[in-house]
Amino acid sequence: MDSENGTVSDAVKVLLHDIPRERGQLLPALWRVVEQYREITPELIGAVSESLNIPYAEVYGVASFYSLFDNPGGKMPVYVCTDVMCMLQGSENLKHAAESAAENGPVTIRESACLGQCDYAPAAWSGARVLRRATPEEIVSVVKEAGQ
């Protein structure tokens, strides 16, 4: 194990120190890792695998199933709902505005299926907050904020 891996593995151990070493804790553990690192790299999978004593392939299989863990590059994701009810209310414009604002920055724009906010379509979500009846101006400012 090289020293960089050693550091990550130690950091993950500390991060997960109070999580019981049980298979049923894998999803909460992965969430904690994603909240810290914003993505799940092979290295992080290895660290979780060691930390919880679950085979690497199993951790990989679980982590790769969930779309909210799928964020290669680890930029801050902002999700724009492009599902049917938001589509009717102009989610395309919203997405384009967000994408231009995010270009070459630390934020990445992801399309999302229904966010469960259709009464406030079009909706977007950045983890920290939900944008309801979002306007292009608003999403641009959220993208700028999220990048800081």
* Residues contributing to the site for ligand FES (CB under 6 A): 81, 83-86, 114-118, 121, 123
Q: CA nearest 146: which of 131, 128, 132, 130?
A: 128
Q: Closer to ligand FES at the Cβ: 34 or 94?
A: 94
Q: Closer to other proteins at the Cβ: 44 or 121?
A: 121
Interface residue with other proteins among 33, 76, 117, 131 (CB under 8 A) is: 117
Interface with other proteins includes 20 (CB under 8 A)? Answer: no
The item of other proteins, ligand FES, none sharing an interface with residue 33, based on CB under 5 to 8 Å by kind, is none
| CB neighbours of residue 19 within 10 Å | 15
d(CA 72, CA 37): 11
Angle made by CA atoms 7, 5, 24, in degrees to the nearest 5: 85
Q: Closer to other proteins at the Cβ: 5 or 41?
A: 41
Give the amino acid at 129: R
The item of other proteins, ligand FES, none sharing an interface with residue 69, based on CB under 5 to 8 Å by kind, is other proteins
- 132, 115 contact by CB (below 8 A): no
Residue 141: phi and psi, rounded to 5, are -70, -30
Among the residues of 22-135, which ranges form H helices?
A: 26-37, 42-52, 56-63, 84-87, 91-102
Q: Closer to ligand FES at the Cβ: 76 or 121?
A: 121
Q: Closer to other proteins at the Cβ: 6 or 28?
A: 28
Which residues would be at the binding site for other proteins (CB under 8 A)?
22-28, 30-31, 34, 54, 58, 61-62, 65-70, 79, 83-85, 87-88, 112-121, 125, 127-130
